[in-house]
Amino acid sequence: MDIKASDKQYVMGTYNRFDLLITAGEGCYCFDEKGNRYIDLTSGIGVNCLGYCDREWADAVAAQARTLSHTSNLFYTEPCVKLAKELCLRTGASKVFFGNSGAEANEGAIKVARKYSYDKYGSGRSTVITLKNSFHGRTITTLAATGQDVFHNYFFPFTEGFRYAESENIKALEAELDDTVCAVMIEFIQGEGGVIAQDKEYVSALRKICDEKDILLIADEVQTGVGRTGTFLASEGYGVKPDITTLAKGLGGGLPIGAVLVYGKAESVMGFSSHGSTFGGNPVVCAGSLKVLERIDDAFLADVRKKGAFAMKKLEGAKGVESISGKGLMIGVKPVDKKSADIVKAGIERGVLMLTAKDKVRLLPPLTITEKQLDEALDVLLAILAE
């Protein structure tokens, strides 16, 4: 079977794939059908936080698949409860809802915020403010939440009740917070938008205003969460506690899962029949995710910070690099003149996989990558940038 031709024939053409067929992976390496090896600085877009096919993770997943592969949420299961408890202990959240993706987690968070407001204030207080240049997902509602006009095409009508505020401008945000607003949703570091970190003062001021107006703060940590930025949640690095946090990407270590974490006043909003998911909390996925949490301890996070600092130092001021952004192992590299997509293509030819985020090259290596492997991959990137 000609995989590439059949993909074009049978898979809906929503992706512009690179000319690379990946057939296997181990740690931070993956392999194509000819056996060529690549250092992967993409982690399947921030998903494979323990690398490809981590042995302990795969064993946990396989053992669970042989014991109880799936049942429904009509019954109790152990991995789901253990994972929820562990997430609450790690984050200070009170309760967790499990879905299957980032977009779905954000949909859940929006439902929590709207119901919180409806229960307390009645109808008419349902607007969610998000930031310009944000990315929150691909469903009709999360596209509406995404503060980029390019995403607001074709699929009309989009869900009502979203407005967008300029980042880093607390006055502009405050001006949007009228009595129709129930929540503000932000990414601490915008991922798809170009690896752009909010500054600390902005986030603290935002937290304060939200408290004063009883507006919920939703942290979309789908990309920044689960150790990516060197703390378990990026919110810890900012010293703020959101009312709702969403996780997905890295949480499953390679299997689909999304989570809505609620804190304090948001904890009792969702009661019986207010939300649900057939696959949410699936035992196999949760067993893998528990392994991810078990591995990401304080020493692991310190190592992520160390490797992140190493990468930043190596890239900062190098030839062809205009600027560096991000935190931990979520890194944006702005080239002086080259197009980010061309750099990624050149990387593939030289055995290094990278991502783009707008005009930047985006690096989301597995959190388990060694400094030596990172060094070797960055040498390839720097050589491309210097040409």
Ligand X SMILES: *Cc1c(COP(=O)(O)O)cnc(C)c1O
Q: Contact positions toward ligand X, by CB under 6 A?
A: 101-103, 106, 135-137, 187, 191-192, 220, 222-223, 248-249
Beta-carbon count within 10 A of 375 CB: 14
Closest CB 246 distance from ligand X, rounded Å:
7
Closest CB 351 distance from ligand X, rounded Å:
26
**C-beta nearest to ligand X: residue:** 102
For residues 103 and 296, which CB has a smaller minimum distance to ligand X in the complex? 103
Closest CB 281 distance from ligand X, rounded Å:
16
For residues 42 and 373, which CB has a smaller minimum distance to ligand X in the complex? 42
Asked if 265 and 243 count as a contact pair (C-beta separation under 8 A), the reply is: yes
CA distance linking residue 201 with residue 231, whole number of Å: 19
- Where b means 16+ CB within 10 Å and e means fewer, 334-367 reads bbeeeebeebbebbbeeebbbbbbbebbbbbbbb
For residues 115 and 228, which CB has a smaller minimum distance to ligand X in the complex? 228
Asked if 344 and 42 count as a contact pair (C-beta separation under 8 A), the reply is: no
For residues 222 and 260, which CB has a smaller minimum distance to ligand X in the complex? 222
Asked if 242 and 235 count as a contact pair (C-beta separation under 8 A), the reply is: yes
Closest CB 319 distance from ligand X, rounded Å:
30
For residues 194 and 230, which CB has a smaller minimum distance to ligand X in the complex? 194
Closest CB 82 distance from ligand X, rounded Å:
23
Closest CB 137 distance from ligand X, rounded Å:
4
Taking the CA of residue 122 as centre, how many other CA atoms within 13 Å lie in the half-sphere pointing to its CB? 0
Helices (H), the chain: 3-10, 43-46, 55-67, 78-91, 102-121, 140-145, 170-176, 200-213, 234-238, 283-295, 298-315, 340-349, 371-386
What token pair was written down for 375? Answer: 């060094």
Closest CB 14 distance from ligand X, rounded Å:
12
For residues 27 and 326, which CB has a smaller minimum distance to ligand X in the complex? 326
Give me the residues paired with residue 5 across strands.
none
For residues 29 and 232, which CB has a smaller minimum distance to ligand X in the complex? 232
Tell the burial category of 86 from Cβ atoms under 10 Å away from its Cβ (0-12, 13-18, 19+).
Answer: middle
CA distance linking residue 302 with residue 231, whole number of Å: 8
